[in-house]
Structure 1
C-alpha cells in the first residue's frame, strides 16, 4: 500500500471518529479503511487506534503519530502545489549553455531583459564552444550553432548565424581592399581556432550559386572571437564574425564590410532541451522569448 495514502486515511479516521464516517467521506469501503490503518500498525509494530463495537480512540502512539502525519501530509501537499506552480509560473534556476561569441554579445543582453520580466527566475549561463550533453552536464537548455543530429533532443530553430568579413579602415588603407575571396590569402586573416593549431582555418564564401573556400592565415589566431574583434579594430587584419555584432561596428565607422557582394558562412542555430524532460514554465517561457527575439524567418 502507499504509505502517504494510508497516512491520509488514518488522519481522517482520527478526526472523524469512525471507519464508517471515513468510508463515506473518502468513497471507499470500511474494510479498505481498516486495511490502511492495519498496514500502518503492522509497519510501526504498535496499535494506533483502540477499536470497540461502540467507539474508537487514539492510543498514545496514535496521538503522536497523528500529529506527525498531519505535518507530513501538509508538506507533501505543499510540494505538489509548488511543482504545479512551477509548471504554470516561471521560477527557479535555469541552466543554459551557449556558444561563447553568441552568448557574450547577443544572449547576455537578452537574458537581462528576460530576467527583468521574470523576477523569480535565476539563470546559470555557461559559455563554451565544446559539445555538451544536456543530461550528463545538467543543462536545462542548449543553444547550438550548426546542424543538430542527436536523437532525444527537442530543437526549435532560431535566426541563422551569419558571418561576414570585416577589417578596419586603417588596415584597408595600408593593405588594400580584397575584391574576391581569393584575395584574402594575401591578407592577414584573424582566424578563429578552437581546435588544434595544426588544423588550417578555412573561410567559405558564395555568390551566384558558386562557392569559394580560402585558407585564412595571419599573425593572430585565437579560440575567443572577442580577441579577434579587438585585433581587427586595432588594424591587425581581416576577421570573420557574426553579422549581428559587426553591424554596430560598421555603422560606427570602426570596421568596413569586406566582400559585400559575397555571402559569408550561414549556419543554422537552435535552442534545444531533452525530449525526456517535460518542459517547466521557466523552460517554456525562455524558449518562447528566444524565438521571438531571434526569429527563424
Structure 2
C-alpha cells in the first residue's frame, strides 16, 4: 500500500489558502521551487490538475475545490499534533481572545471561566460579547461561540452541545388569549420576536405525525437580544420562541409554560468556531475542552 503524500497535500492546502506559490513558500519556510514540485508531484499522482495557473492569478480546478477542505483539515491536524506534543510538558500560557453572544455569554459562559482561570493561571482571556456575528479572522479572535445552525464556511467548528428551542408563554397570556392547538392558530396570537432569527418572520415546527408547518405571527415586540423579550413574556404580553437556556428556570417554577406540545421548532446547537488553517495553541485547546466538558453537563443541554 502506498502512503498518501501528506506533505504535498499540506502544501496544496496552504497554496489554496494564500493563492500564491511565493506566499506559501514564505509561510512554510521553504523555497518556491519546492512548492511547485510538490503540487506537480501531487497532480501527477492523482492524474488531474488541482490548480489553474496563469501569469496573473491562480484558481482551483473542480478537483481542487473537491479536495481543498480535507487538505486544509490535514494541515490543521498536523499543526495541532505538533503544537500539542511540543506543549504537553508546558502549562498553557498566553492570551485568548474570544467572542460570544451577549445573553449566553453573561449567563452561561462567564460562570465557567473562574474554574478555568484557577486551573490555568498563566492564561489571560479577553471576552467580547454581542449578538452580531463577528469577523473572527479580521477581528483577531482565537475562537467564538455561535448558537444556531452554522453556515458553510472555511471556519473550523466543533459542536459543544444541542439546544432546544421552545414556544413559551406565561399562564396569564394563555388565560387571556387561549392556547393554540396547531401552529396555524399562531396567526391570531401576539409574537415577541428575535431580530437575528435565521428563519426571519416565519416560525417553523415539526410534528412526528403531521410533518412540518411554517407560520407568520404578528410581532408586538422585536429585539436584537432574545433575553430582552423575557419581561414581556413574563408579563403575559405574547408568545416567543426561546432557547431553553434562557427560560429553563422560568419553566421549572411555572412562570412560563410550553405551548403546542408535540410541535417542535428545529433544534440548534452551541458551536465553537475557529480561524481556518491554523494550529490551535495549547491555551486555546484547553479552553475549548473546558467549555465542551462543562456545557455538555448544563441542565438545559439537549442530548446529542
Structure 2 unaligned segments of length 5 or more: list them: 1-85, 297-302
1:139–1:217: structure 2 CA closer, same or farther, 3 Å change rule? same
Maintained 8 Å contact 2:91/2:120:
no
Matched, 1:176 2:200: no
**Could you give the per-residue CA deviations for residues 54-81 of structure 1, whole angstroms, max 9, x where no partner exists?**
xxxxxxxxxxxxxxxxxxxxxxxxxxxx
User: d(CA) in 2 for partners of 1:108 and 1:226?
Assistant: 16
Maintained 8 Å contact 1:200/1:215:
no
User: d(CA) in 2 for partners of 1:87 and 1:234?
Assistant: 55
Q: Return the offset for 1:119.
A: 2.8
Q: Return the offset for 1:287.
A: 0.8
Supply the RMSD in Å over aligned alpha carbons: 2.4
Residues 198-277 of structure 1: pairs in structure 2 closer than 5 A: 201-208=201-208, 210-277=211-278
Maintained 8 Å contact 2:227/2:246:
no
User: d(CA) in 1 for partners of 2:106 and 2:243?
Assistant: 12
Partner of 1:133: 135
User: d(CA) in 2 for partners of 1:158 and 1:217?
Assistant: 34
User: d(CA) in 2 for partners of 1:249 and 1:88?
Assistant: 44
Q: Return the offset for 1:236.
A: 1.0
Q: Return the offset for 1:231.
A: 1.1
Partner of 2:30: none
User: d(CA) in 1 for partners of 2:89 and 2:106?
Assistant: 29
Partner secondary structure for residue 194 of structure 1: coil
User: d(CA) in 1 for partners of 2:200 and 2:243?
Assistant: 20
Partner of 1:66: none
Residues 79-118 of structure 1: pairs in structure 2 closer than 5 A: 88-118=90-120
Partner of 2:279: 278
**Could you give the per-residue CA deviations for residues 224-282 of structure 1, whole angstroms, max 9, x where no partner exists?**
11110121012111111111232211111111111121111212432121233321121
With the length of structure 1 as denominator, give the TM-score of the two structures.
0.64
Maintained 8 Å contact 1:94/1:121:
yes
Maintained 8 Å contact 1:185/1:215:
yes
Structure 1 unaligned segments of length 5 or more: list them: 1-83
